[in-house]
Amino acid sequence: MKVNTWKDYVEFTRTTAVYPKEKELEYLLLGIIDEIGEFKLKLIDNTSQESLIDELGDVCWYVARITDNLNMVENMLFSLDDLDEEIDDEFLTLDFALRTTDNMIMEYCRLAGNMKKFIRDGNDSKMILAKENVLHLISYIIVIAKDLDSTIKDSILLNVDKLSDRKDRGKLKGDGDNR
C-alpha cells in the first residue's frame, strides 16, 4: 500500500488493527502511553537511531488509530511531506529529546483527562480539547523525529514496512520488537 498522506496511513492502520473493537478507545489510550514509555526508555538507554525511529513509528500507529476513532481523519488530508516543521537545530540535544518526550507524556495525560470527562459527562467541549491534544501529540512526534535527524514520514514508512511484514507472516499479535 502506498502511503503519502495521513489519511493513507490511517487506512493502512485499519488493516493492522488487531484488538476488540468494542474496547477500541480503551485499548488505544492504554497502548499509546505504553509506546511512549517504550520510546522514552530506549531514548534513556541510548538505543540506536533506527530503533528510536522505529519505536516512534509505533507511537504514530496509535496516534493514527486514535485520529480514526475520534473521526478526525477527513480533516487531515495533508501530505506526510508537509508534516516536517522547521525547528532551531541548536536546541536539539538528548536533554531536549527527553524534555520533549516528557511534554508528549503530559499531552497524553491531558488527552486522557479530556476523554475521561467526555465519557463521564458527554461534554462536547472536552472532545474538542481531546482532538487538539491529539494534534499536539503529532507536533511532538515531528519535533522528536527532527531531533533524531529524521522525519515523521520516515517513522511512519518504517512502521508500514514492519507491520506489513508481520501481517504477511501472521505475526501482528504477540510481544517484542523481533516477531
H or E stretch including 147?
helix 124-147
Identify the burial level of 170 via C-beta atoms within 10 angstroms of its C-beta, where 0-12 means exposed, 13-18 middle and 19 or more buried: exposed
Would you state the pLDDT for residue 140? 85
Q: Which fold has domain 6-81+89-168?
A: Four Helix Bundle (Hemerythrin (Met), subunit A) (1.20.120)
Q: What residues of the chain score a pLDDT lower than 50?
A: 86-92
Per-residue pLDDT, 176: 64
Q: What is the pLDDT at residue 145?
A: 87
Q: According to the model, what pLDDT value does residue 172 have? A: 67
Radius of gyration of the chain from its Cα atoms, rounded to whole angstroms: 16
Q: CB within 8 A of 105, min separation 6: which ones?
A: 33, 36, 37, 40
